[in-house]
Amino acid sequence: MSPQSSAGRSAKPVPDPVAAQPPSVFRLFSRALLPGTLMLGGGVTLFAVETYVTATVAPSIVRDIGGLELFAWVTTLYVAAAVLGSMFVALRPRALGLRGVYTVGALVFSAGSLICALAPSMAVVLLGRAVQGLGAGMLSGLAYAFIRHVYPEPLWRKASTLYAAIWGVATFLGPTAGGLFADGSNWRHAFFVLLPPALLMAAFARRLLPAVLDDRAKDRTPLAQIGLLLSAVLLVSTAGTEARPGVKALLLTASLALTTAMVVVERRGSTRLLPCGAVLIGQPIARLYLIMAALIVTVSSDVYIPYFLQTLHGVPPLMSGYLVALVALGWTLTAFFTGTLSGRRAVLAVTAGCVLEAGATFALAPLLANGGPWDGLAVMAPAILAMLLMGGGVGLCWAHLVAGVLKWAGEAEQDKASAAIATMQSLGGAFGAALAGVIANGAGLVDPGGIGGAQSAAYWLYGAMAVPAVLAALVSLVPNRG
């Protein structure tokens, strides 16, 4: 299927002079494109900042109002609701346009933030987190859905690069900002501060975003696929927070089984959740989604890096947090410097990115497992480089994967294709974190534990978690025809 130009699909076409200019990230901030960039980037910013700020203040919430037994669900419900929110972008009522979804998403996110800020108990915080996740998922899905309406095609990769940069900045600044609200009941302010920007975005959505014709094919809601996928997300997210290795492995297996069942239903059913060909490995769009998910699975293993740095190398907690943020920094840097590639060079960048991520992840196994204090930059330099390259591999190819999905999706399935990008990110992150836990615990992180257990876990974890990226590299070598 040959891709169609996206410039003429919105009621306010992008001016041709902008489209004709050389693709540069700064074009996103030109006078004609700035309103859309502020709105789409603002939605991603809310999602990213809230993610890291809440992770930082979550222990403070427990200390203030209790609910330690529910602590794991703070993230689990958020992830599951975010997946549902991203699906809503494609499955919205036909009377509700993309601008309407943006307004609803920002208002829902605001409502969730207010619920969390005023919550008297952890149970109410969880309700707020679910509502927040629903709104955040809508905003995240819309960021990709609106790309084709706001920007000319040469800037699609640059818009994806901007989103990566926002996540990179949030990774660095989120924990610091969260630390400002970590004392006593000040954690409530971490949710209050998100209200003004979210409400402003809801108020200006109709003014700053283009009116878009609904070009979706008429279809029924794929309730069976939605139910199976959400159940899989809940199970895998729960697995990511389960301490018992056996239970964790069982939950992960059950989640994989439900995901497989969803794929079977998707292939055989007349009503689809994903764009045509997305579950057929012979189709280019299916391979693009598979590469996306595999890359995120691999990079999600960075969740254990701070533990190994502190336990095996005596790195202080704050410094270990900023060192692991190098993964996000690497993603951002390579995305900026390679986002202008196109054609054959973009295809090569995807393969190179997969190989780079696989190699860097594998290199972390001996670098992190070998014990001894890191008391100087020279000692830390190899691991620092590996962490940068681990994220850099994803950044090298992510924008090209996004652009490829938008090109290969059918004209009437662009919203499904866009929403599925955010879904793949959430699924990959959840599966990656859970799988990393199974491998680390199985390799001795908890039993026998201690220094020896941590060393064994580091070896096995980063050796094994390089495999999905290797598989992604192999998939990227399959030629696209048509």
CATH code, domain carrying 27: 1.20.1250.20
Place of tokens 């900042």: 49
Same domain for 199 and 337?
no
> Is 240 a member of any domain?
no
Same domain for 209 and 348?
no
Domain count, the chain: 2
Q: How many residues comprise the chain?
A: 482
> Is 96 a member of any domain?
yes
Same domain for 205 and 280?
no
Same domain for 313 and 186?
no
- pLDDT higher for 124 or 222? 124
> Is 289 a member of any domain?
yes
What pLDDT does residue 361 have? 97
Yes or no: say if 187 and 61 are a contact pair by the CB < 8 Å rule.
Answer: yes
pTM of structure: 0.82
Stretch among 13-27, 69-83, 155-169, 208-222 having the lowest mean pLDDT:
13-27
- Of 188, 213, 238, which residue sits at a domain end? 213
Which residues on neighbouring strands pair with residue 212, listed in sequence order? 10
Position 166 confidence tier, pLDDT thresholds 50, 70, 90: confident
Same domain for 187 and 316?
no
Which DSSP category does 217 fall into?
P
**pLDDT tens by residue, 253-298:** 999 999 999 999 999 888 888 888 899 988 999 999 999 999 999 9
pLDDT surpassing 90 at residue 182: no
What pLDDT does residue 2 have? 35
What pLDDT does residue 6 have? 37
Range of the domain at 43: 9-213
> Is 252 a member of any domain?
no
Q: Identity (one letter) of the amino acid at 127?
A: L
> Is 44 a member of any domain?
yes
What pLDDT does residue 482 have? 54
**pLDDT tens by residue, 343-370:** 899 999 999 999 999 999 999 999 999 8
Concatenate the DSSP letters of all residues of 110-175 into one string. HHHHHHHHH-SSHHHHHHHHHHHHHHHHHHHHHHHHTHHHHS-GGGHHHHHHHHHHHHHHHHHHHH
- Give 176's contacts (C-beta < 8 A, 6+ positions apart): none
Distances (CA, A) of 410 to 1, 19, 221: 8, 22, 18
Position 20 confidence tier, pLDDT thresholds 50, 70, 90: very low
Alpha carbon distance 297, 84 (integer Å)? 20
**pLDDT tens by residue, 194-224:** 999 999 999 999 999 998 887 777 777 888 9
> Is 248 a member of any domain?
no
Same domain for 209 and 283?
no
End-to-end distance of the chain based on CA atoms, in angstroms?
6
Position 23 confidence tier, pLDDT thresholds 50, 70, 90: low
Position 181 confidence tier, pLDDT thresholds 50, 70, 90: confident
Same domain for 51 and 198?
yes
- Of 186, 213, 240, which residue sits at a domain end? 213
**pLDDT tens by residue, 372-401:** 888 778 888 999 999 999 999 999 999 999
Same domain for 193 and 97?
yes
Give the mean model confidence (pLDDT) for residues 166-180: 76
Give the mean model confidence (pLDDT) for residues 298-320: 87
pLDDT more than 70, % of the chain: 94
- Of 213, 232, 267, which residue sits at a domain end? 213
Same domain for 37 and 169?
yes
> Is 245 a member of any domain?
no
> Is 63 a member of any domain?
yes
Helices (H), 180-304: 187-192, 195-208, 223-241, 245-268, 284-299
What pLDDT does residue 481 have? 67
Same domain for 159 and 293?
no
Same domain for 209 and 279?
no
